[in-house]
């Protein structure tokens, strides 16, 4: 069973990571989430769950306004071929979330370490970063360095690259 948002927050607390979480109506797109601007400071994420032809999976996390060239990104992230979006079944199996709730925090559910995380360097210029806590009905604000601590605590090695145009 995938972890719940409460289990995620308890895990963060066990790491000594302080976060704030704001509940809100479900947000399915970046456009939906932009209605919260002014209420939640920091960098806001857009997440791309991608796979290559060899079933290697990638979670690419960028700033909400970033433009990513999906025809070329495979060269940057180490994919074996051009990438496509991963299917909802794989998203649930690997990250424990549904489309519309894709988040870097989903790595807590990837116990087999099948997903390679790519963080856009422009996003990492923010002191604080916002992401869904496994549900699109809330936004969790976390410090940039604390986010890296979380990722490493899940057993993943974050790859910080310039992937946005």
pLDDT (tens digit, 9 = 90+) per residue, 29-60? 666 666 665 677 889 999 999 999 999 999 99
Give the whole-angstrom CA distance, residue 126 versus residue 132: 17
pLDDT (tens digit, 9 = 90+) per residue, 65-120? 999 999 999 999 999 999 999 999 999 999 999 998 999 999 999 999 999 999 99
Tell me what pLDDT residue 40 has: 78
Chain position carrying tokens 């997903």: 115
pLDDT (tens digit, 9 = 90+) per residue, 138-161? 999 999 999 999 999 999 999 999
Could you tell me the domains of the chain? 5-19+41-161 (3.90.960.10)
The answer to whether residue 134 scores a pLDDT higher than 80 is yes
């Amino acid at each position: 069973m995938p972890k719940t948002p409460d289990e995620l927050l308890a895990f963060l607390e066990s790491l000594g990571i302080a976060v704030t979480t704001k509940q809100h109506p479900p947000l399915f797109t970046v456009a939906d989430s932009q209605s919260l601007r002014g209420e939640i400071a920091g960098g806001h994420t857009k997440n791309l769950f991608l796979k290559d032809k060899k079933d290697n999976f990638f979670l690419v996390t960028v700033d909400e306004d970033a433009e990513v060239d999906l025809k070329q990104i495979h060269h940057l992230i180490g994919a074996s071929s051009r990438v496509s979006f991963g299917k909802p079944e794989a998203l649930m199996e690997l990250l424990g979330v549904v489309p519309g709730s894709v988040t870097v925090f989903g790595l807590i559910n990837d116990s087999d370490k099948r997903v390679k995380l790519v963080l856009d360097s422009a996003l990492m210029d923010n002191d604080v970063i916002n992401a869904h806590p496994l549900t699109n009905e809330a936004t969790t604000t976390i410090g940039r360095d604390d986010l890296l601590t979380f990722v490493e605590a899940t057993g993943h090695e974050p790859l910080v690259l310039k992937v946005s145009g």
